[in-house]
Amino acid sequence: MNQRRVIFHIDMNSFYASVEMSYDPTLRGKPLAIAGNVEERRGIIVTSSYEARAKGVKTTMPVWKALRLCPDLELRRPNFERYKESSRALFELLREYTPLVQPVSIDEGYLDVTAYLSKIHPLHLAAEIQRRIKVELDLPCSIGIAPNKFLAKMASDMKKPNGITILRKRDMKEKLWTLPIGEMHGIGRRTVEKWEKKGIKTIGDLAHAQMGDVQAWFGTNGRKLHERANGIDHRPVDPEAIYEFKTIGHSTTLKQNTKNMAVIDQTLKQLSQSVSRRLEKKQVFARGIQLTIRYHDWRTITRSQKLSNPAQKPEDLYKQAKQIFLKAWNQESVRLLGVSTYDLIEQQYAYKQLDLFHYQDDIKEEKLSHLVKEVHEKFGEQALQKGLSSKWKRKEETSTEEGTSFSKDFLEPE
């Protein structure tokens, strides 16, 4: 059955900075940035107000550089509890309109408001929601209106701050296809050059490319992006998606039962690297980790731990797995070890409560992780196995789940 849908994407504008302005009105109209280690001028800009952006202040820019561009820049340390409180209030307000609300990060989410189609024009409904968010929460937002989630997300980015944009399939040629490929939701900054080398420089180029070629170049993800460039996105607005229990994991049976901590440690590192590569390939982060220990007598235990920040890097997974192991191990010989991750979240929505004093280290580590990934792709996964012994063979167990497809429907007939 082909039904029309009306999907909103709510995107809060400069969320952290806007929340700070709400708490301290004297900051309104001033160039403001949220950053760590502001006293020593060595921190990194996390976000900035539109007044600061107009003077060249950008996310991830060092504080000293931002101050050079904007000497009157107001700097504030992040207050994550304050931001979480505002986020909770936002989604409570949205759920007053429909139970079909899907948060995707602390400051954005989707609403399926199809039920209102016969009662109020989507533009008027969006204006009411935007007004209430401003009046009741004192926060600005942009809203995209479209027949599916992808187009709604793209629409909300088109007018900021305080914009409301309708993007129908018939509008794509004019509004969407002319945009650079790097502005397409789902295209990572690091992959832009790869797309451009294939002659895909705009979203329209991708939409008109041969599906077979795109899939050959970029796999299943390429096929998905090709569909979305053509306005096809069947994903429902799923209120439970944020709670889905998805897992990606690996286990290995050791060559012999062992109590040797060096062997166990190496194995945990190897498993963590394997899981990390799969997480990166799937473009997801984990918000929980589970460790499996099977002893010499086949007794098997599992222990899990929620993570304070979404994780993908092997060293982060290993550190947590090692902590869990040391708490759970009964000092008997181990036959099998397994590391699994669960409560997965798409990479672009992963919300990390950064320790901003070490944010620069995160950037360096990210560059190193990217280099290691390139080496693995070129020379195989056994290249650059940091701290691991290649003699330990592993048996991998992996479980992941794709989202459900629903029938496509449209905001307005073609």
Binned at pLDDT 50, 70 and 90, residue 353 comes out as very low
- What φ, ψ does residue 36 adopt, rounded to 5°? -100, 155
**Domains in the chain, CATH or no CATH each:** 1-167 (3.30.70.270), 172-239 (1.10.150.20), 244-379 (3.30.1490.100)
* Percent of the chain scoring above 70 in pLDDT: 80
108 catalytic residue (yes or no):
yes
Q: What is the pLDDT of residue 348?
A: 66
Helix (H, G, I), strand (E, B) or coil at 202: strand
In this predicted structure, the answer to whether residue 359 has a pLDDT above a threshold of 80 is no
Distance, C-alpha 128 to centroid of its chain: 28
Catalytic hit among 108, 332, 374, 412:
108
107: annotated binding-site residue? yes
Half-sphere exposure of 129 (CA within 13 A, CB side): 32
* Mean predicted confidence (pLDDT) in 131-158: 97
11: annotated binding-site residue? yes
Q: What is the mean pLDDT of the chain?
A: 84
Contacts 24+ apart (CB under 8 A), 121-129: 122/6, 122/8, 122/166, 122/411, 123/164, 123/166, 125/8, 125/97, 126/8, 126/164, 127/164, 129/8, 129/10, 129/93, 129/94, 129/97
Q: Is 393 exposed, middle or buried (0-12, 13-18, 19+ CB in 10 A)?
A: exposed
Over residues 274-297, the pLDDT tens digits come to 999 999 888 888 989 999 999 988
Element (H, E) at 334: strand 334-346
DSSP letter (8 states) at residue 16: H
Q: Is 260 exposed, middle or buried (0-12, 13-18, 19+ CB in 10 A)?
A: middle
Q: What is the pLDDT of residue 219?
A: 87
In this predicted structure, the answer to whether residue 389 has a pLDDT above a threshold of 80 is no
Other Cβ atoms closer than 10 A to 300: 12
In this predicted structure, the answer to whether residue 237 has a pLDDT above a threshold of 70 is yes
Give the type of residue at 205.
D
